[in-house]
């Protein structure tokens, strides 16, 4: 614990020590034997030290209960007040304050009422009804510190909630970045591997075509590097039209027939980017897993929602595999925009991936 913080908390208690003016004045003015004065003064010093130690924990959420300090405060407060009279009964106000700040909730009011009763007994039994304000102050102090204790607890909960939100935001950003890198590099590296393999087969049979394929590999690698840099900078945005053009190049290079939409409608930026990622992931999966000979991509929008479908004539979905991280990330991306991503066997066999996204903005949290 930072000692400066501890002394700052004790500083909150110091102004209330002004109420000790009365017992100190009584100790100096009232004619008593020297031994009584020394014992009373030592008791007051110990009482004050124990009270400050207990009060310093008041602003620490879920701090350990200062049991020893509270016992010292309660015992000395009662003994000094009963022994030395009504002028010392104000110490019971400190007992009430320490009990309110340091005890569990269920014990606070019994302790406060007991301190109030002792204070009232000392005042009235010693014939000083003019000091009736002291037992009243015991109760008022308890009420005031009870409210302050509640505020301290609420503020601590708010601070914990802010920290939790910050941790969640960091974790969510890490997941987003990992998902984006998977989408970027998964597509590009699959294309690089495919074209490199093709260039290796053509190296002797058709050197000119092999050089063309290797040039494409270089271009894809440079584009992937640029996209990763953009992703790190936070400025990367994939358009559906760009993803369709890349899909045509990648699939045609692999000998797969491609049928694309005649036109790409103008879509809101977030919708356009999400559909671009769907096209990329679908293309990557076709190249990796499908064994397809033809792929058909359709894209429609009716002013209410946009629907993108990517269908192939390959092997279709495997029954013994779970969806990969790419499709999981796509489902999260599409779901965040209020849409839905579904995948499964196509009507004519093969595999079909379908994304439906509303064109109107979705209120925050509505998609959840």
List pLDDT tens digits, range 335-366.
Answer: 888 999 998 888 878 889 999 999 875 554 44
pLDDT: which is higher, 41 or 126? 41
This prediction's pTM:
0.45
Q: Give Dmax over CA atoms of the chain in angstroms.
A: 120
Q: What's residue 355's pLDDT?
A: 93
- Work out the pLDDT band at 1, boundaries 50, 70, 90: very low
Strands, E assignment, 215-362: 257-259, 294-301, 305-312, 340-345, 351-358
Strands, E assignment, the chain: 257-259, 294-301, 305-312, 340-345, 351-358
**Could you give the C-alpha distances from 168 to 145, 159, 174, 175, 322, in angstroms and in order?**
34, 14, 10, 10, 26
Q: How far is CA 44 from the centre of its chain?
A: 47
Q: Where in the chain is the domain with CATH 3.30.565.10?
A: 238-368
- How confident is the model over 201-254, as pLDDT tens digits? 888 888 888 888 888 888 888 877 777 766 665 555 678 888 898 888 888 878
What dihedral angle (degrees, nearest 10) is formed by the CA atoms of 345, 346, 350, 356?
A: -90
Q: Has residue 10 got a pLDDT over 60? A: no
Q: What's residue 97's pLDDT?
A: 86
Q: Has residue 39 got a pLDDT over 90? A: yes
- How confident is the model over 52-65, as pLDDT tens digits? 888 776 666 555 66
Sheet strands side by side (includes 340-345): 257-259, 294-301, 305-312, 351-358, 340-345
pLDDT: which is higher, 312 or 318? 312
Average pLDDT, integer, range 250-274: 86
Query: For the chain, what is the mean pLDDT?
Result: 80
- Work out the pLDDT band at 368, boundaries 50, 70, 90: very low
Q: What's residue 148's pLDDT?
A: 76
Q: What is the percent of the chain with per-residue pLDDT over 90, rounded to a whole number?
A: 12
Q: Which residue has the tokens 């004045």?
A: 25
Q: Has residue 17 got a pLDDT over 60? A: yes
How far apart (Å, rounded) are the C-alpha atoms in residues 86 and 132?
10
Q: Has residue 276 got a pLDDT over 80? A: yes
- Work out the pLDDT band at 13, boundaries 50, 70, 90: low
How far apart (Å, rounded) are the C-alpha atoms in residues 347 and 356?
18
Helix locations, 255-345, DSSP H? 269-285, 325-336
- Work out the pLDDT band at 133, boundaries 50, 70, 90: confident
- Work out the pLDDT band at 318, boundaries 50, 70, 90: low
How far apart (Å, rounded) are the C-alpha atoms in residues 356 and 339?
5
CATH number assigned to the domain covering 238-368: 3.30.565.10
Q: Do 352 and 343 contact (CB within 8 A), yes or no?
A: yes
pLDDT: which is higher, 247 or 7? 247
Q: What's residue 59's pLDDT?
A: 61
How far apart (Å, rounded) are the C-alpha atoms in residues 125 and 132?
12
Q: What's residue 2's pLDDT?
A: 44
């Amino acid at each position: 614990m930072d000692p400066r913080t501890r002394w700052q908390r004790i500083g909150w208690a110091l102004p209330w020590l002004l109420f000790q003016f009365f017992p100190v004045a009584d100790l100096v003015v009232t004619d008593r034997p020297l031994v009584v004065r020394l014992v009373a003064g030592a008791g007051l010093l110990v009482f004050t030290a124990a009270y400050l130690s207990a009060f310093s924990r008041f602003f620490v959420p879920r701090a350990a209960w200062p049991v020893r300090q509270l016992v010292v405060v309660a015992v000395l407060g009662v003994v000094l007040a009963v022994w030395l009279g009504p002028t010392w009964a104000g110490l019971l106000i400190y007992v009430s304050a320490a009990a309110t700040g340091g005890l569990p909730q269920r014990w606070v009011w019994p302790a406060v009422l007991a301190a109030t009763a002792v204070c009232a007994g000392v005042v009235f039994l010693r014939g000083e009804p003019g000091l009736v304000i002291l037992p009243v102050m015991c109760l008022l102090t308890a009420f005031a510190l009870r409210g302050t204790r509640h505020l301290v607890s609420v503020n601590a909960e708010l601070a914990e909630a802010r920290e939790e939100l910050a941790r969640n935001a960091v974790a969510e950003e890490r997941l987003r970045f990992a998902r984006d890198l998977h989408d970027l590099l998964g597509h590009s590296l699959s294309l690089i591997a495919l074209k490199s393999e093709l260039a290796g087969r053509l190296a002797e049979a058709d050197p000119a075509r092999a050089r063309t394929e290797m040039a494409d590999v270089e271009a894809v690698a440079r584009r992937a590097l640029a996209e990763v840099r953009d992703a790190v900078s936070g400025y990367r945005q994939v358009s559906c039209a760009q993803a369709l053009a890349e899909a045509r190049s990648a699939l045609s290079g692999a000998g797969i027939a491609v049928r694309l939409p005649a036109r790409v409608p103008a879509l809101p930026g977030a919708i356009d980017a999400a559909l671009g990622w769907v096209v990329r992931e679908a293309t990557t999966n076709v190249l990796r897993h499908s064994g397809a000979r033809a792929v058909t991509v359709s894209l429609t929008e009716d002013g209410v929602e946009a629907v993108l479908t990517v269908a192939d004539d390959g092997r279709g979905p495997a029954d013994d595999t779970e969806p990969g991280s790419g499709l999981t990330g796509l489902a999260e991306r599409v779901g965040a925009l209020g849409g839905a991503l579904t995948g499964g066997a196509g009507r004519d066999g093969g595999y079909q991936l379908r994304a439906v996204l509303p064109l109107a903005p979705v209120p925050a949290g509505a998609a959840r």
